[in-house]
């Protein structure tokens, strides 16, 4: 979260983009005259809220940062006497996870368009390090999103009998697929977290000229 905040401030209103590449923090690149801050602020809160309310990350940050609990069979610190679970502000906001999921799926579709566009430059096929990184990143993000516990529940969690439910057969197929990748959700969470940062750093270096890559449309080429 700290890195995200820092990078969206760094690029200002234009975003990290270079040739066919666009940093995932800035996608979709929204440019409004009335918005004085970084355009990423209009978008980046969605994946941040999605990750911040993720069941896996909740387990990780509650244990690591809030010591809730610090370890198995270790009692919680005394200052947590008034803890109300996720029934009071701010933790009640974690119940919005499924809604952040819907928004995150829209952002994911846009990132797929960006990844495909990264293989297309000046009316021809283009393959660069950035294209491959963007593709790998969106595959990891898709794995993270589609292994989500809330999505698995949405597909089949409320169904007692697939053969009796509407569209039961395709739902059962999707539910089995989600069940297959769901145990790896934590691994996808970390891998996609790293890949987003790696893509952003790479495009930042390329757009600043530090890596020597030069596209025709870029000033100075």
Determine the size of the site formed for ligand FES (CB under 6 A): 8
In the bound complex, what is the minimum distance in angstroms from residue 87's beta carbon to ligand FES?
Answer: 19
Its sign, for the CA torsion 172, 174, 178, 181, is positive
Q: Which residues contact 68 (CB under 8 A, 6 or more apart)?
A: 62, 76, 80, 83
User: Interface with ligand FES includes 171 (CB under 6 A)?
Assistant: no
Q: Which of residues 83-122 bind ligand FES (CB under 6 A)?
A: 97
User: Segment contacting ligand FES (CB under 6 A): 31-39, 52-60, 118-126, 154-162?
Assistant: 52-60
User: Segment contacting ligand FES (CB under 6 A): 24-32, 142-150, 159-167, 206-214?
Assistant: 142-150
Kindly tell me which of 38 and 195 has the beta carbon lying closer to ligand FES.
Answer: 195
In the bound complex, what is the minimum distance in angstroms from residue 89's beta carbon to ligand FES?
Answer: 21
Side-chain-side CA neighbours of 147 within 13 Å: the count stands at 20
In DSSP terms, 120 is beta-bridged to 125
User: Segment contacting ligand FES (CB under 6 A): 48-56, 64-72, 75-83, 110-118?
Assistant: 48-56
Return the structure tokens found at 83.
Answer: 């803890």
Three-state secondary structure string covering 85-108:
CCCCCCHHHHHHHHHHHHHHHHHH
13 contacts 33 by C-beta, under 8 angstroms:
no
Kindly tell me which of 148 and 191 has the beta carbon lying closer to ligand FES.
Answer: 148
The 144-163 site mask, x for binding ligand FES (CB under 6 A), equals ----xxx-------------
In the bound complex, what is the minimum distance in angstroms from residue 207's beta carbon to ligand FES?
Answer: 30
Q: Nearest Cα to 47, choosing from 119, 144, 170, 172? A: 144
In DSSP terms, 18 is beta-bridged to 21
In the bound complex, what is the minimum distance in angstroms from residue 54's beta carbon to ligand FES?
Answer: 3
DSSP state of 157: I
Measured between alpha carbons, how far is 185 from 174 in angstroms, rounded to an integer? 16
Kindly tell me which of 43 and 54 has the beta carbon lying closer to ligand FES.
Answer: 54
User: Interface with ligand FES includes 54 (CB under 6 A)?
Assistant: yes
Side-chain-side CA neighbours of 148 within 13 Å: the count stands at 23
In the bound complex, what is the minimum distance in angstroms from residue 216's beta carbon to ligand FES?
Answer: 39
In the bound complex, what is the minimum distance in angstroms from residue 21's beta carbon to ligand FES?
Answer: 26
Contacts with ligand FES, residue ranges (CB under 6 A): 54-56, 97, 148-150, 185
């Amino acid at each position: 979260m700290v890195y995200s905040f820092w990078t969206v401030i760094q690029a200002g209103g234009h975003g990290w983009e270079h040739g066919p590449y666009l940093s995932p923090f800035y996608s979709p690149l929204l440019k409004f005259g009335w918005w004085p801050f970084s355009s990423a602020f209009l978008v980046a809160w969605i994946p941040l809220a999605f990750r911040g309310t993720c069941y896996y990350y909740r387990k990780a940050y509650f244990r690591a940062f809030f010591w809730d609990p610090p370890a198995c069979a270790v009692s919680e610190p005394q200052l947590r006497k008034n803890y109300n679970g996720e029934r009071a502000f701010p933790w009640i906001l974690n119940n919005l996870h499924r809604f952040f999921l819907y928004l995150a799926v829209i952002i994911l579709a846009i990132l797929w368009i960006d990844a495909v566009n990264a293989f297309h430059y000046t009316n021809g096929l283009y393959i660069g390090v950035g294209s491959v990184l963007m593709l790998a990143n969106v595959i990891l993000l898709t794995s993270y999103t589609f292994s989500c516990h809330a999505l698995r529940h949405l597909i089949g969690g409320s169904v007692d009998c697939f053969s009796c439910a509407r569209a039961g057969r395709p739902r059962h197929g999707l539910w089995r697929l989600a069940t297959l990748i769901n145990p790896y959700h934590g691994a996808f969470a970390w891998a996609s977290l790293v890949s987003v940062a790696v893509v952003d750093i790479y495009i930042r270096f390329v757009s600043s000229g530090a890596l020597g890559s030069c596209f025709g449309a870029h000033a100075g080429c």
